[in-house]
Structures are given as C-alpha cells and as structure tokens.
Structure 1
Amino acid sequence: MAPRRRTVLAAVSTATATAAAGCTNLLGTGADDETDGSTSADEVATAFVDDLANGRFERASERFVENERDRYGDPGRLERVWLAFETVGGAFEEVVETSVTASNRGKVVTVTLAFDRDDHDCGVIVDTESRIRNCGIADEYERPTYVDSNAFDERDVSLSVPDCSLSGTVATPTDGNGVPGIVLVHDDGPMTADTPRGATRTFADLAEGLATRGVASLRYDKRDTACEVALDEYTLDRVTVDDAAVAIERLRAVDGVDPDRIVVVGHGLGGRAAPRIAARDGDLAGVVGLAAPARPYLELTLEQLEHKATVGSHEWEDMRATYETWVDESDRVREGEYEPDEQLLGKPGAFWDSITAYDHVQTAAEVDVPFRFLQGERDFQVTVTDDLERWERELDGKSATTFETYEGLNHLFMPGKGESLAFAYAVRNNVAEEVVDDIASWIGEL
C-alpha cells in the first residue's frame, strides 16, 4: 500500500468551514451550519464526514435529500457505517484527500480517511443542490501480504451440477505433486467464488493463502447466485450440499492433487452442512468448520438480526422494524405454520423444513473423519459460548476433533477492535494469517 499522505485537504475553503459548523477535530474551524447550491460536492462530503467523525449522526442525517433519508440517512445506519471504519482502522485522525466523479445522480465523492491503523475510503453521493443521496464504504480489496502469487497457479473451471453450471477457480501450488486440496463451502446467502463483501474476499484470501503454503483449493459460485432456484426447492441440500459434492469430485480429478487428501472447509452455514457433506462423500480426509453454527438455526438467525438492530447508541428504524417482523415470523417457523414456497425470516419454508430435519451435531458425531473447528472471539453471528462450546460438549470423546479460538477476529476471521458489526465486512481487511497457517498445518498432519 502507498505511504499515507498526512496532509489535510487543500480544498477546505470558507464554504466548507461554514458547512462543518462546530467541529474542531477535522477542519479546525467552526461557524454556522449552512450550505447552499454554491457549495461544491467535495465540501459537502467533507462536512458530512466531519459530522460522522464527531458523532453528530442526526445532523449528518439532515444533510440527506428527504426521500432518501429513511433508507440511507437514518442516524442508526450512519453510526454503524462509521463504527465499521473505526473497528478496522482504529481512531480517526484526518481527511487525507477527496476525489470527485460524475454520475447520473450527481457527483460521487470519495473521501479518503486516515485512521491510526490504515487509510479507508468513504463514498458520498451529492446531488446538484448539495444534498446527500447515499453514503457507504468505498474501499477496494487488496491481496494479503502473506500470499505469494508466484507460488501457485489459478485457472477457471466450470462445475456441471443439475440444472445449472457454476463458475469456479482452482488454485494449485506451482511446486509439488500429490498435494492435499480443500473445497470451500459458503456461508448463508448468495455468494460468488471469492465471497466478496465490499473490500473483503474471505475465500480468495483462504484459497491463495493456502496455495502459497502447498494446499490446492477449489472455490465456486454458490447456486443461488448463478442459477434460479424455485422457492419450494430451496433446501440445504439444493443450495449447499449437492454442489459441494460435485466440487469435491472435480478437485479430486485435478492433476497434482492427491484424491485421498481432500478436506472440506465450510464457513458459517457451510460449516454446519460440512458433516452432511462428509457423510455423503464417505472418503474425505478431514473437515474444517469456520464459525460453524451449533445452536438451532432459527435462534441463531433471530439473534443475529437483534444484534444488528441494537448495536450502537442510535436506533435504526428500518432494522428494528425488520426485527419485529422476524420475531412474529419465528413463531410460525417454530409451529410449522407455513408453506414450502413462503418466505419467512428471509428464507423459503423449504429451507426451514430442511434445516430442522438435519441433526448436524449427531451427523458430525457419527462421521469417521477428523474435524477442526475454528472460531473468532469477536464474531456476533456465531459465538464461542453459544456455538463452539456446544460443539465441544456434544463431540466430547470423539477422536481427532480439535478446537481453536482467535482473539480479535470477527465472523470473516478478520481482525478488528470494539463492537463487531456487519458493515465492517465491507471495510478493506483480510483473513488473519494465523488462521491460514493453522489450517495449512492441520491439513499437513492428516
């Protein structure tokens, strides 16, 4: 990464100082908070960031055009965006620079912010009347330093699955033959092969980091991203297990990969499904569960949303309303009062039927394969107390089953400090090197 520029915007003008009333931390000046059509887009965006940096989320909200305020400018949403920057970047220091590009909605201003651990970009859309229409995290992904691109080769592949074709990527070490291989299995929701979320790519980090360390990999687009899935067919098998089975066989056929040393690495829901994948395959060398949920999935889903609705000091009205709706819908799921094609808690009834019928813990206990469960201690979605410790209790006595926790890592196994937030998944970050090393070492001992 280029060295950080330590100069505050040269473009800070009298108009900007006027717009950024009452703040001394960012612009070093104060005045009445007034803007008009003559204020430039970068001045509006800088004044807006000044509000965020100083916790003035209500005033930041008032800068939004009225018809976008509820959706994008809610003080609760703005607080979460800012907290996400701070959890990854650390304490805010200053604005480094701005850049402005035109769009059909006005001007897109990228504000580069200096934090004590790194620089990050905030994107702000400003209309022709100096009102804000949207804002968000605008970082770009960077490959982790522990990846050596000369140590492996990557090529695109296509997985032929029933009624669909999935794009994927195979990474193989340039040196070595008969190497072990992993198939990466996605978390809940639509995902492509790299699992990009803003400026993070969990599966790209894992695949390339492991390939650097002599482990081949296959990652692929999830079915509900690449193909149409009927609601009444949206089951755990259909969107996760079936395609993972195809990917395993595809990796076994890759030149240089030892077909007897294939490991499934499942993240989130993929980790919960991994015992079923192992039972179906019958010949895996091992399973790694990354933040694998152990508690009932309905409970997990509702508690995740509750966290999103309540984190921070400002209520996010839309998130709160969604949570209240999901509380009502959860009662119907418990009672089985729904149709297979009916959406409840963001999932079709067919999914709830399939996840309820699957005893993941019992399946893991019965499968004769080594398991390794990894868990970040800052993960609000899957937790040490509610999930990892249950795996430990239920699998107590099962041979070749081990567990590891990581201080400071979130659900994506990326570092940060403070309250864990979903918005932080979009802030530029990488899977911690210690996690990649741990997986590589464990596979090497199988």
Structure 2
Amino acid sequence: MKKVIQLLIAILISSSPIFAQDIKPNRPQEPQKPYPYYSEDVRFKNKQAGIHLAGTLTLPKKEGIFPAVILITGSGPQNRNEELAGHKPFLVLSDFLTKNGIAVLRYDDRGTAMSEGNFNSATSADLASDVESAVAYLKTRKEIDSRKIGLIGHSEGGLIAPLVAIQSKDISFIVMLGGPGIPGDKILLIQQKLIAEASGVSKEEIKATERINKKIFDLVKKSSDIEVLKTDLRDHLQKFLNENPDFKKPDHMTADEFIRSQIETYATPWMQYFIKYNPVNTLKKVKIPVLALNGEKDLQITPKENLNAIKKALRKARNRNMTIMELPDLNHLFQESDTGAPQEYKKIEQTYSPTALKEILHWIKIQVK
C-alpha cells in the first residue's frame, strides 16, 4: 500500500514529486524570442478579491482588432505558462493560436509568480472570479473584439470555464481540455485507481486504498467546518493505523506525519469544494458553443465517464453547438503517450500534440467567423 499512499498524497499533477527535474529536458515546441507577433506583460485587478493579477497578452499584430481567448490553468498553483513536468503547455498553445490570428491572455494564478493573493485559501469559485476579471480587462483593450472572447480551460480550468460562462454574457464560446463532467470524489477515485495500476500497484493494495479514500471523501462531503473535518480525519486515520499495524507509511513517515499529510491534502477549502462539486449542475445551463476534448489515455480526467457526462448535461441545456471529441493516444497534457501515466509527462519531449492544436484552432476559427 506504500506506493498507493505515495501517489495519493500527491494527487494533483502540479505538486506531484514525479515532476522533480534534475536536468533541463529537450522541449522542441517551445517558442523562442523574438516572437513573430506582439507580446505584452500586463496587470489587471480582481476588484472583488482586491488583488492584482499578472499575465501576458499576445496579439497577432500590434495594431488591429482580434478575437481573443483566456487560458485557465489546471489544479494547483500554476504560472501563466501552466508550467509543469518540465513543460510549458500554455506557452506553446498561446504561441500557436497567436500565430494563427487569435489574441491570447494567459496569467499567473493568484498567489503565484507575479500575481497577488492567497492561492491556498481559494476555491474554484474564487478562481472563476479571477477569470471574470481577465474578461473585464480584455474588454478595455481596443485591439480585442469584445464580441468574440472565449475561454480555454485545462483540467480544473475546464471546470472553471463553464462557471464563468453562465455568469457572464461576454463569453462567446468555451473550450474544455480534459475538463471534468462528473463529481470530484468520483474523479479522484477513478484517477487514483488508474494511476496506481499504471504504477504497478497490486489489486489488493488498490482496493484497500479505495476503501480508505471513500471514507475520507464521505467525511469531506458531509463537512461544513474545516476544523471539525480535521478532527474527523485525524480520528479516522488513527483508527485505520491502529487496525493495520503492518501498514508501511511512505518515506518512513511517523504515524503523526502521515496523518498530518493526509489532513493537509484533504482539509482545504479547494478540496472541500472540488469533492462536493458536480459539474453537471453548471453545464446544463451552458448554451454557448462548447468544444470538449479529452485524450484517449487520460488517466486523470478519463474520457469515457467525463465526456459522456458533459454531452448529456449540454443536451439538457439544449445546447445546439457542442463538439465532443476523444483524441487517440493522448494523455492528460495532450501529449502523444504510450500509457498515459503521469510518470511519462516529463519524459516525453512533445509538449502539445499537433493534432490537438489543429482541432482547437479549427473549431475556434469557426466560432469567430
């Protein structure tokens, strides 16, 4: 069970130790300056939160009026390039789109890099207000066609984009890249199981860990007070350790260290919100054009369960402009992958599949005609 717990302590890809880097990897898709387009570092204010966010706006040319997209990062504190596993997916995506006539705004998450605020106290709903501020900023720019502003969200960003879309009339389309369509607790259980299997963990260990985490998620779903939740989690985990004296804790942790690590993972505002949140309740209100893409080998937001749920929810919204696609051989980062396991992310030289880039651009071009 040691391997399983090591994986579960680092559920979110942005903070996982599998992304530690010893040497600078080869990333042939990363653009190099000088760029063949206009690039400007910008700051804008989230008045509701009282913080300034820092980002980069790229325009096909310095002068002109262009359709635009805002890029929304996945889970965990990420910079404007969504930098992880030695890759900069949003740098590559923004470069590709800008070269093809689309203005792009990408920004550092609150409390990350050059943006103000406290990421650790923020939920997905709070992060949605940051996106709304980005939209408001784009509307002040004379180079942006305010009738053609879209959102592209990866992973958790694909959860946030619909939240913004149902609150703002300024959004003309959304792109969900590996975005969720099922509740957070179900996502985590599937994700944990598949990643553990890909890592060679035994079926017995996986089943045991699933039982543990179902109980943890039940406690989180029932909780309304984080301090009470911490006590409940501590009691549950202490009981588990007492009943399983042979349990091998990861990295030679003491019992107290192990319990504390689990509490730090699950007793947070973000995790409470994510585990309780059901994307269907939002998606069934989304009536603007939607592109939902998933990689066939995505082990974190699995295509079958999530794309089916997204499609059903949008049908309930009577959405007449949706494109739902599963792209062969791609993982959660939209890289061409052998297994889809997170351990592969940093080993793969490719940052973004050309197939995914072309599908995104082709669909956006249709929306902004």
SS of the residue corresponding to residue 307 of structure 2 reads: helix
The 2-side partners of 1:230 and 1:175 are apart by 33
Distance 1:176 1:156, change over 3 A: closer
Instruction: Compute the TM-score of the two structures, normalised by the length of structure 2.
Output: 0.74
Whether the aligned pair in 2 keeps the contact of 1:151 and 1:211 (CA below 8 Å) is: no
Distance 1:338 1:310, change over 3 A: farther
Out of 281, 292, 308, which is 2:168 matched to?
Answer: 281
Amino acid at match of 2:290: F
Out of 105, 108, 118, which is 1:229 matched to?
Answer: 118
Whether the aligned pair in 1 keeps the contact of 2:183 and 2:278 (CA below 8 Å) is: no
Whether the aligned pair in 2 keeps the contact of 1:209 and 1:436 (CA below 8 Å) is: yes
Measured after TM superposition, the shift of residue 403 of structure 1 is 1.2
Measured after TM superposition, the shift of residue 380 of structure 1 is 0.4
Measured after TM superposition, the shift of residue 351 of structure 1 is 3.1
Whether the aligned pair in 2 keeps the contact of 1:180 and 1:257 (CA below 8 Å) is: yes
Residue equivalent to 2:301: 382
The 2-side partners of 1:327 and 1:351 are apart by 18
Whether the aligned pair in 2 keeps the contact of 1:176 and 1:256 (CA below 8 Å) is: yes
Higher normalized helix content (fraction of residues): 2
Distance 1:357 1:337, change over 3 A: closer
Identity %: 22
Please state if 1:398 is matched with 2:283.
no
Post-superposition Cα deviations, 1:170-207, rounded to whole Å, max 9, x if no partner, equal 11112772211100111111111101113211111111
> 5+ residue gaps in structure 2?
7-19, 231-262
Post-superposition Cα deviations, 1:401-428, rounded to whole Å, max 9, x if no partner, equal 11122111111111122x2111222233
Measured after TM superposition, the shift of residue 160 of structure 1 is 2.1
Whether the aligned pair in 1 keeps the contact of 2:75 and 2:157 (CA below 8 Å) is: yes
Amino acid at match of 2:361: A
SS of the residue corresponding to residue 445 of structure 1 reads: helix
Superposition map of 1:349-428 within 5 A: 349-355=268-274, 359-396=278-315, 397-417=318-338, 419-427=339-347, 428=349
Instruction: Compute the TM-score of the two structures, normalised by the length of structure 1.
Output: 0.62
Whether the aligned pair in 1 keeps the contact of 2:330 and 2:340 (CA below 8 Å) is: no
The 2-side partners of 1:312 and 1:242 are apart by 37
Residue equivalent to 2:89: 202
Distance 1:424 1:255, change over 3 A: farther
Superposition map of 1:15-54 within 5 A: none
Distance 1:357 1:322, change over 3 A: closer
The 1-side partners of 2:207 and 2:350 are apart by 28
Distance 1:391 1:210, change over 3 A: same
Whether the aligned pair in 1 keeps the contact of 2:152 and 2:175 (CA below 8 Å) is: yes
The 1-side partners of 2:277 and 2:188 are apart by 16
Residue equivalent to 2:55: 168
The 1-side partners of 2:333 and 2:29 are apart by 14
Asked which structure has the greater RCO (Cα within 8 Å, sep 6+), the reply is 2
Residue equivalent to 1:156: 41
Measured after TM superposition, the shift of residue 355 of structure 1 is 4.1
Amino acid at match of 2:362: S
Amino acid at match of 1:218: L
Residue equivalent to 1:29: none
Distance 1:340 1:223, change over 3 A: farther
Measured after TM superposition, the shift of residue 228 of structure 1 is 5.1
Deviates more, 1:188-197 or 1:355-364: 355-364
SS of the residue corresponding to residue 305 of structure 1 reads: helix
Whether the aligned pair in 1 keeps the contact of 2:173 and 2:288 (CA below 8 Å) is: yes
Superposition map of 1:3-152 within 5 A: 138-140=23-25, 142-144=27-29, 150-152=35-37
Please provide the CA RMSD for this pair: 3.5
Higher normalized strand content (fraction of residues): 1
Post-superposition Cα deviations, 1:107-166, rounded to whole Å, max 9, x if no partner, equal xxxxxxxxxxxxxxxxxxxxxxxxxxxx86634353528999643221211232324332
Superposition map of 1:254-333 within 5 A: 254-313=141-200, 326-333=213-220
Measured after TM superposition, the shift of residue 363 of structure 1 is 2.5
SS of the residue corresponding to residue 223 of structure 1 reads: coil
Highest Rg: 1 or 2? 1
The 1-side partners of 2:181 and 2:165 are apart by 17
The 1-side partners of 2:208 and 2:82 are apart by 28
Distance 1:230 1:366, change over 3 A: closer
Whether the aligned pair in 2 keeps the contact of 1:138 and 1:198 (CA below 8 Å) is: no
Residue equivalent to 2:354: 433
Measured after TM superposition, the shift of residue 387 of structure 1 is 0.3
The 1-side partners of 2:301 and 2:32 are apart by 27
SS of the residue corresponding to residue 288 of structure 1 reads: strand
Amino acid at match of 2:36: A
Measured after TM superposition, the shift of residue 359 of structure 1 is 4.7
SS of the residue corresponding to residue 150 of structure 2 reads: strand
The 1-side partners of 2:194 and 2:264 are apart by 15
The 2-side partners of 1:250 and 1:416 are apart by 37
Distance 1:319 1:143, change over 3 A: farther
